[in-house]
Chain A
Amino acid sequence: MAENLLERLGPAPPQQPKVEMRGVTKRFPGVLANDNVDFTIYAGEVHALLGENGAGKTTLMNILYGIYTPDAGVIRVRGVPVRLRSPRDAIRLGIGMVHQDFRLIEAHTVAENVYLNYDGLGFIPKWSTLESRLEEMAASYEWRLNPRARVGDLSPGEKQQVELLKLLVRGADILLLDEPTSVLTPIETRMLFKTMRRMVEEGKSIVLITHKLSEALSVSDRVTVMRRGRVVLSKPTKDASIDELSTAMVGAQITGSGLEQGDSNSQDKSPVLQVINLSVMGDEGVLAVRDVNLTVYQGEILGVAGVSGNGQIELVEAIAGLRRPVRGRVLIRGADVTGASPRRLMELGLTYIPPESRKWGIVPELSLYENVAIRVARYQPYSRMGVIDWSRVMEVAERVVSDFKVDAASIKMRAGSLSGGNVQRLILGRELTTTNPVLLVAAYPTKGLDIAATDHVKKILLRLRRENVGVLMLSEDLDEILELSDRIVVMYGGRVVGVVGRSEATPEALGVMMSRGVAAGVSS
């Protein structure tokens, strides 16, 4: 198989591979995360490692980075078999990884982060020399990065550059990037891809771990697809088609999304949510939401597009009663609910799906049914005079689990042991089974979910829309916004910079508004 692969690559890389992983197997309790995986990295290539969440991509790279030890298999680096016991072993061999969540110390400067425990540091480091070295290095990739800046003050794109610098100063020439674009704006993404091409021109090798087909196609030289712990396809990118790759990723041809929108004529319907001149303070003490006006009508989905950190979270938190606005009003079905408590809002028909649902939506230490009880225990018939009727609660918990296809062995399981997709199903199920919403505010309801779970959540949102519920949805995924929303508002710098109907919206126009705050060719 290996020879076969080399043959198919044709004349391209005649040299010895920099990294060769053969028959790598890794088992976790109950899961075969990597099943006899072969993976090769050559000098001067971007190798896309493509697959859905849970396909085993990150596990494979964590093995190469010395975080996990494989149960079986051989790893050769520059032809030499190696055993990697820790990331430091990997770094010594020139292998470096940038994780999805940045591993940086926000309170420290860029230089301090880069040179933490660096070998040639000396007892009293010459910071000015080190800083100018970093400045040069950053400039060579056309990054505008100040080595003296506090990392906490940097944008996600710049933090990623700090992560890369950490590896580069230690001489890494095999870079493993885990979903590097998930936190970036479209412009930062383009910049990163440019950097990546530049690095491979210098002879470095890059593995791009991603679940986005378009990324794999646009920047990589070779692509390997994993599904359920196995490699299902590996070939030069130029020979791969979208259909072929997406089939390989999910295991079957996706025949359309199966999501029938149907047109809603929202203008004739009455508004369920009106936000009027709303300004909200962010955690940093500056206005995060500035003078926002928007309306959600019955039976429509209003999508809020924007790069994260542009006031979306603060906006929905103000609507959900979790953050008191400094100015402006929030009306639900005409009633002024500005500054009302979450409980009163719920009783008025607001259902809220929080961002980072694992953190804000469940109590991980409690069981599934107790997590359902949290929501209903205050109300009859689930409790009488403060005493909970557990049999009724368990009944409704069973219904949530079966109706919303929560994959759980029992409702007595700890909620924290569920996967991300199942947590989201549990929360949606709990909220929608136990309340009768007129307005659903959902913050990133599909974030981090795999295709099947995402699909399920989308279907639920569309069902609510048919049932005449008004939906306000935040999403970072433009395709999802375009697919589901009747109308789209774009937020930038805390303001609404554009409102677009679905039929007039294009990803390009939205992308421009999201990244620059101006409506290019679209009237707002």
Chain B
Amino acid sequence: MTVESLSFLEAILASAVSAGTIYLIASVGECITERAGVINLGLEGIMAMGAITSFILTLAYGHLAAILGAALVGAVFGLLHAFLSVSLRLNQIVVGLAITWLGLGLSGFMGAPEVARELLKSINPAVPAFLAELKQAPRLPELKIEPLNSLPVLGRVLFSQNILVHAGIITALILWFILTRTRWGLSLRSVGENPALADTAGVNVFAVRYLAVILGSSLAGVAGAYLFIGYQPFWVEDLTRSRGFIAVSLVILSSWSPLRAIAAAYLFGGVETLQFRIPLRGFGAETPQLIMMLPYVITIVTLILISLASRGRLPAPAALGKPYSREE
């Protein structure tokens, strides 16, 4: 392998991990939400809210505030989702879509120059408000982990990234451990499989579902923050571009395991990267839409393949999507 092709491979892998982290943080959270029996189709909107929150808060108070703020905003949306879908037992699909439209609309509104400017002014008057109109914020710094960053390939792919990349992997590992090895995890999985049984065993089904939805949504908020300050730090409307929905489908690809979600997310990060790296000639150059479709086409194809491979019997949590009420 020549030096050039090695460094090209490094570059591809590094940007696959970088792009995949958006999916990783969101779909690991969604894994937890779904294992508790709730599907959250609101990820798209929550991610957008996380992104806009991180934009304004980065300008106002810096990166840490941006990440925490995005998590908090995500949690608030999660609370709303849980209230509607767990307490009021509304159809989870409808609730999720409503939250997506709400988040997309509200984030678009907040990103409008005059609104963003006013928001920034009211949050921290000490910062010049016109900064918000530039639609940009400082990117998260690269964290070069010495001496691991001088390893071949891995050094650049894993150890010269920003901190949220590492946080994503660590979160996935921790959540996987909690889910499979701890008492909480067992209770949560039981709620997603058979809430009535978990209830009679003394598990607080409502509390578990609230927590799972809030945790998942808050991670979606962080994924949005990463998308903005860690990946593409200039604000455009529809910044998320259906990545939230792809994150939901990646949960199926990773068969509801936070561990496999790491691989699935980076795979899709790779797909997303490739669309910018495929040399555009002739037809492709005139109609970049075809290339832009790639992640979505591959999502659909993957879902079809998984469905065929599992002969239509996915290992989905048995109570996924079903509201639980005690009386029945």
Binding site for B on A (CB under 8 A): 86-88, 103-108, 112, 115-117, 121-125, 127, 283, 285
List chain A residues, Cβ under 8 A from B313: 283
A121 — which chain B residues lie within 8 A by C-beta?
A: 183
**In the complex the two chains form, what is the Cα distance from A86 to B220 in whole Å?**
38
**Contact call A116/B203, Cβ cutoff below 8 A:** yes
Q: Is the CB of B194 within 8 A of A105?
A: yes
A residues in contact with B194, CB < 8 Å:
103, 105
Interface majority SS (helix, strand, loop, mixed), chain B = helix
Known: A112-B186, A116-B186. A105 touches B197 (CB 8 A): yes
Can you identify 22 A-B contacts, CB atoms within 8 angstroms?
Answer: A87-B200, A103-B196, A105-B194, A106-B318, A107-B315, A107-B317, A107-B318, A108-B186, A108-B189, A108-B193, A112-B186, A116-B187, A116-B197, A116-B198, A117-B190, A122-B183, A124-B181, A124-B183, A125-B182, A125-B186, A127-B181, A283-B313
Name which of A103, A105, A106 has the most chain B CB atoms within 10 A of its CB: A105
Report the separation of the CA atoms of residues A127 and B184 in the bound assembly, to the nearest whole angstrom: 14
B200 engages A105 (CB within 8 Å): no
By a CB distance below 8 angstroms, the chain B residues around A105 are 189-190, 193-194, 197, 318
Beyond A108-B189, A117-B201, list 7 extra A-B contacts (CB 8 Å): A88-B202, A106-B318, A107-B318, A117-B183, A117-B186, A122-B183, A125-B183
Residues of B within 8 A of A (CB): 181-184, 186-187, 189-190, 193-194, 196-198, 200-203, 311, 313, 315, 317-318
B36 CB to closest chain A CB (Å) equals 13
| Cβ–Cβ < 8 Å partners of B196 in chain A | 103
Are B311 and A285 in touch, CB under 8 angstroms? yes
How many whole Å from A182's CB to the nearest CB in chain B?
A: 20
**Of A86, A103, A127, which one neighbours B197 at CB under 8 angstroms?**
A103
| Nearest B residue (CB) for A121 | B183
Q: How far is the CB of B188 from chain A (nearest CB, A)?
A: 11
Given contacts A103-B197, A107-B315, A116-B203, contact A123 B183 (CB under 8 A): yes
- Please give me the residue from chain B that is nearest to A166 by CB atom: B201
Residues of A contacting B200 in the complex (Cβ-Cβ under 8 angstroms): 86-88, 103
Q: Top 10 A-B pairs ranked by shortest CB distance?
A: A117-B201, A105-B193, A117-B202, A116-B201, A121-B183, A103-B197, A105-B194, A124-B182, A117-B203, A116-B190
Task: A86 to B170: give the CA distance in the assembly, Å.
Answer: 41
Q: A106 CA to B196 CA in the complex, in Å?
A: 14
Which residues on the A side are within 8 Å of B197 (C-beta)?
Answer: 103-105, 116
Of B184, B200, B317, B318, the most chain A CB neighbours within 10 A belong to B200
Chain A residues with CB under 8 A of B183: 117, 121-125
Shortest beta-carbon distance from A103 to chain B in Å: 5
Task: Report chain B residues within 8 Å CB of A87.
Answer: 200
Is there an interface contact between A108 and B182, defined as CB atoms closer than 8 Å?
no
What is the bound-complex CA distance between A124 and B186, given in angstroms? 10
Chain A residue nearest in CB terms to B202 = A117
Chain B residues with Cβ below 8 Å from A285 are: 311
Q: Who on chain B is nearest to A283 by CB?
A: B313
- Give CA–CA (A88, B200) in the complex, Å: 7
In whole angstroms, how far apart are the Cα atoms of A38 and B55 in the complex? 72
What's the least CB distance linking A126 to chain B, in Å?
A: 10
* Smallest Cβ-Cβ distance to A115: which chain B residue: B186
Residues of chain B contacted by A123 (CB below 8 angstroms): 182-184
Instruction: Output the least CB separation between A473 and chain B (Å).
Output: 31
Q: Whole-angstrom distance from the CB of A154 to the nearest CB of chain B?
A: 16
Q: Are B318 and A108 in contact (CB under 8 A)?
A: no
A450 to B159, CA, bound (A): 71
Most chain-A CB neighbours within 10 Å: which of B194, B198, B315? B194
Chain B positions within 8 Å of A127 at CB level: 181
